Amino acid sequence: MSRTEQQEAEYIINTYNRKPGLTPCLVRGEGVYVWDKEGKKYLDLLGGLAVNVIGHCHSQVVEAICKQAGTLSHVSNIYYSVPQVKLAEQLIQNTMPGGKVFFANSGTEAIEAAIKLSRRYKPGRFKIISAERSFHGRTLAALTATGQLKYREHFNPLPEGFSYATYNDLESFASLIDNQTAAILIEPVQGEGGIYVAEENFIRGLRELCDREGILLIFDEIQSGMGRTGKLWAHQNWGVRPDLMAVAKGLGGGLPIGALVAAEDYTSVFEPGDHASTFGGNPVVCSAAMAVLKIILTEGFLDDVHEKGLYLKKGLEKLISSYPDLAAEYRGLGLMCALELKKPVARQIYEKCITNGLLINAVGDTTLRLLPPLIITMDELQEGIDIIGSALKEC
């Protein structure tokens, strides 16, 4: 083992499936590429798991971080903060006019805030319906909302009031509603579950169902948001607006941030003392997020993401045609996609890609997940497609 691998084994609690001798130690990034300690270059089609939406070390984000860090790096939320207020204004104007935002440090915190607000809204209503195969975070309530037993099974007793319906099955959700139901929580595109895209009739049906039953509709846009699908938020592809929305990952451009966005009818549910965050809305992070938003909202940027998504889809579908005994299906929307395999060799392909200078992700035994930076070019996408093709050929 290298010195870094030895130190990691000695000092860091092991919660990630790193593999000594294979998993690179990354020390530098620029654009869509990263480099390890030995100087090896990798094309990053994982983007920090949808965090590095505008790539690594974007000059405008670096400038915003440095300027704010040299001015004021932290202030308690007891006080007003200019970067926090400015970011909130930009988010609301481009997301949910009339709404308001609560800032946290991560996606799971944003989900926790959404759960608390939905339970606070109507006394006696506390139940949350989420989807099977979903992923909403690892803090206790977010974990309980996650529709994958493998993440929950070792942490009983879990909070009460959570149930799981079948994704893209409106009747399955409707059957679980009773007079204690507070909200339905879903990902417009399931990420950790393997990239499953919501059907338009399902999304629209959920909105109508929640309106009819008087319950809140919560969208988890932590992975699918910030332009990843070709729209600023994935739900905008269907023209359906949630009551609450959790965002994180790409918003900070590499720095930790989370946010709960609430529609106008729900902005006064929390009162002072109901919820808080020491580091939420940190001025340095908010400055970085404003720079990220400015880039993504530049005219033509999201249209380009859409076109790149179509190019990536076409390239992966060509691989399916070339390797029909191994590659089964493309799933995705924009630059959030998966290649489903017919054999349990996802980990093998992932490892071959690392060896050949490409970073992707294996989800379970049969799914490869791709979440490239949105600034990637067609040529760079083709480079990644070619490396995946070589890995498929070797399996």
Active site amino acids: 135, 220, 249
Torsion of CA 163, 167, 168, 169, to 10 degrees: -40
Q: How many CA atoms lie within 13 A of 115 on its CB side?
A: 25
Helices 59-69 and 283-296, axial angle in degrees (round to 10): 160
Alpha helix segments (H runs only) across 198-250: 200-213
Q: How far apart, in whole angstroms, are the C-alpha atoms of residue 332 and residue 353?
A: 20
Question: Are the C-beta atoms of 98 and 265 separated by less than 8 Å?
Answer: no
**At CA 144, angle to CA 110 and CA 362, rounded to 5?**
80
Cα–Cα distances in angstroms (integers) from residue 339 to residues 72, 195, 234, 351, in the given order: 44, 9, 20, 15
Q: 286: closest CA among 104, 53, 24? A: 104
The alpha-carbon radius of gyration of the chain (Å, integer) is 21
Q: How far apart are CA 317 and CA 393, in angstroms?
A: 15
